[in-house]
Structure 1
């Protein structure tokens, strides 16, 4: 312990004996300790507030970009796009409510505003966490049976599940909030009733973190199914005779693969950001009994950093989308290019700004090549009309020969090109 925390030495004399012995006693100065800890808390809160403001601004921009990109024509109309859309909306809500709570705690001292923000925090955080759980379970169905996924993993069912979740969360928190929380008029804030403090300390982390963490272990099954699908694709390449029968399933798996990897990455990000907060929460069940100032400072700092790290889970999903999905990354680049072209067009005086060329993807090249071939065929058919009449028997023989000839051309290199063309 620092020597500044002691008063040094006090001399106690015996009034009956002038030649008394001097007793040296170190006395802990509580006022100096409190001043030191208070100053440390103010510094930590100042820098934590600055980092939270930067995090909220970046998180709102990232989730806003995710909303725009996922609703582009190339990515929308899938169940995964519905989940990502609502997840971005609730992540923005979590960040806005969090920064609003910080602002009102310093500027507005109203217990009504504090209670309302406490209710909104529980509601939007619950919906944000459980949307990740629902889309993880939906991905399990998609990778396990692609043909069942075409029936059940639809945009309508995804929206229905989101609406049911929102309704359930609204009923749950609206019915329990008046009984669990009470108004502390002295501190002008909303607090948990004394009789429910111990129960809430176990129930709230359970429904917000522990149960979702257990259900998100289904991502291990998703990873296993993706690995098996990759092996099946390799076996299909080795055995061209089964290519015609398995081409539809492989095509659907390849189309769903990138979205699945994106959502699995978000789930692992949830583990990454919530685990330190859970560990710190378990440590808080045993409050410190020592009076070591350095250890108390360190514990306070780690607690605040774990809360900040927990909020990062709502601000970094856009980065995981870009890292895990090449198609999402390409759509993001196109979106940013379109925005830059629009701004430059508005700022240019003559209005003759030439937009930059959009990056062509594999699907764009294939579609343009297909349109070019169709145009050439139409020109040939319109310029040189040819009418051929064949007997029925000869036509049947010719068709069977064409089928045999086509089956001979389905070898491994050509099959690899076909499977690569259907990749998203």
Structure 2
């Protein structure tokens, strides 16, 4: 009987290990093959957003300041995550373990940019709510929007400065075994207190503000359906873009934070935590890559400017091609003329 039970235990352990290995392969493959197209799509889309906003006739509005800051922040998030997260999630090589400076700097920089981008969405939503509902819309100026974005970036850095202090490089016996870890004296803070702080400041408060402002905006839009001027039409289109960005932010951003707090009180195996959280984190980063498509689907003015941008690029391409053909023909003609002169001199 004991032999049979030991055999059954070995079979159970074997199946369990195979299951975890399969799940790990699935999670790693999701990052390995899903992140490159996601990152490239986000970078190209955010670049197009910046180019369109440079063309926009309302480039000096506060809304475009927030959209530009959000596009830059999303691009930086994708680029930094490509160095800090993607090699480790997909291939097992972590950039923060390469040096002590990388261990101290990687995570504060990444989380600072992520939190700043999150609060840019919140600020943009509040600004749209003020423009749509409040008589204080005169406060929504490009200068105030720039000051708000700068202040949010500073606050995000202050909020994540503790990550610089609680991480350290454990070299061990060889540099090949170096790992960026949280020392034992900071382990309780990193495992229990910081997740709750991040959950409140990066999820609960932003989501609550976004939901309240979106509710107020939707009520106002449903009550005032008449568009009197072209400026009112542009404001309405920009507000609809803001609603789309806000709702997608909630769908992509909240699940990862909820799960990260849930596992503090709901015991799970480390492998399951890694796999589920890895997939949810990838969903969270998708939020930084889809704004271009949201603007294109919901913003008629943005689509017009995007078409005008492509039309101008095509015209410039035709003009450049014509100039190249003319220069080539001139150079070829000069070479032919020179050969004819040389041949005539040789005959004489």
TM-score bracket relative to the smaller structure = 0.7 to 0.9
Residue 152 of structure 1 pairs with residue 132 of structure 2: no
List, as ranges, runs of 4+ consecutive aligned residues in structure 1 with deviation greater than 6 Å: none
Distance 1:137 1:28, change over 3 A: same
Alignment-derived partner of residue 421 in structure 1: none
Alignment-derived partner of residue 222 in structure 2: 227
Q: What are the Cα deviations for residues 142-189 of structure 1, in whole angstroms up to 9, with x where unaligned?
A: 0113x531x211111111111121222233333x33444343334521
Contact 2:105 2:164 in 1 (8 A): no
Q: What's the offset of the Cα at 1:128? A: 0.1
Contact 2:104 2:165 in 1 (8 A): no
Question: Greater CA deviation, 324-333 or 102-111?
Answer: 102-111
Q: What are the Cα deviations for residues 110-140 of structure 1, in whole angstroms up to 9, with x where unaligned?
A: 1432432211111100100001111111111
Alignment-derived partner of residue 288 in structure 1: 268
Distance 1:228 1:33, change over 3 A: closer
Q: Of the candidates 64, 68, 81, which is equivalent to residue 47 of structure 2?
A: 64
Residue 45 of structure 1 pairs with residue 39 of structure 2: no
Distance 1:166 1:44, change over 3 A: closer
Q: What's the offset of the Cα at 1:107? A: 6.7
Q: Of the candidates 234, 254, 257, which is equivalent to residue 255 of structure 1?
A: 234
Q: Of the candidates 250, 261, 264, which is equivalent to residue 271 of structure 1?
A: 250
Q: Of the candidates 177, 186, 194, which is equivalent to residue 200 of structure 1?
A: 194
Alignment-derived partner of residue 119 in structure 2: 130
Q: Of the candidates 341, 350, 357, which is equivalent to residue 325 of structure 2?
A: 350
Query: When the two structures are aligned, how many residues end up with a matched partner?
Result: 309
Structure 2 Cα separation of the partners of residues 88 and 94 of structure 1 = 10
Distance 1:318 1:351, change over 3 A: farther
Distance 1:141 1:97, change over 3 A: same
Residue 80 of structure 1 pairs with residue 74 of structure 2: no
Q: Of the candidates 311, 335, 347, which is equivalent to residue 337 of structure 1?
A: 311
Which structure's relative contact order is higher, taking Cα pairs within 8 Å and 6+ residues apart?
Answer: 2
Structure 2 Cα separation of the partners of residues 191 and 25 of structure 1 = 39
Structure 1 Cα separation of the partners of residues 204 and 193 of structure 2 = 15
Contact 1:143 1:225 in 2 (8 A): yes
Q: What's the offset of the Cα at 1:252? A: 4.7
Contact 1:115 1:190 in 2 (8 A): no
Q: Of the candidates 8, 25, 30, which is equivalent to residue 26 of structure 1?
A: 8
Distance 1:172 1:276, change over 3 A: closer
Output aligned runs, 1:317-336, within 5 Å. 317-336=291-310
Supply the RMSD in Å over aligned alpha carbons: 2.9
Q: What's the offset of the Cα at 1:91? A: 0.4
Residue 191 of structure 1 pairs with residue 176 of structure 2: no
Q: What's the offset of the Cα at 1:258? A: 1.0
Larger Rg over CA atoms: 1
Q: What's the offset of the Cα at 1:42? A: 3.3
What are the ranges of 5 or more consecutive residues in structure 2 without an aligned counterpart?
Answer: 173-177, 328-348
Distance 1:102 1:180, change over 3 A: closer
Contact 1:184 1:191 in 2 (8 A): no
What are the ranges of 5 or more consecutive residues in structure 1 without an aligned counterpart?
Answer: 1-8, 13-22, 235-246, 353-424
Contact 1:60 1:315 in 2 (8 A): yes
Structure 2 Cα separation of the partners of residues 182 and 82 of structure 1 = 37
Alignment-derived partner of residue 373 in structure 1: none
Contact 1:229 1:253 in 2 (8 A): no
Distance 1:41 1:213, change over 3 A: same
Residue 163 of structure 1 pairs with residue 150 of structure 2: yes
Contact 2:116 2:152 in 1 (8 A): yes
Alignment-derived partner of residue 119 in structure 1: 108
Contact 2:107 2:164 in 1 (8 A): no
Which structure features the higher share of helix residues? Answer: 2
Alignment-derived partner of residue 418 in structure 1: none
Question: Greater CA deviation, 32-41 or 108-117?
Answer: 32-41
Structure 2 Cα separation of the partners of residues 67 and 157 of structure 1 = 20
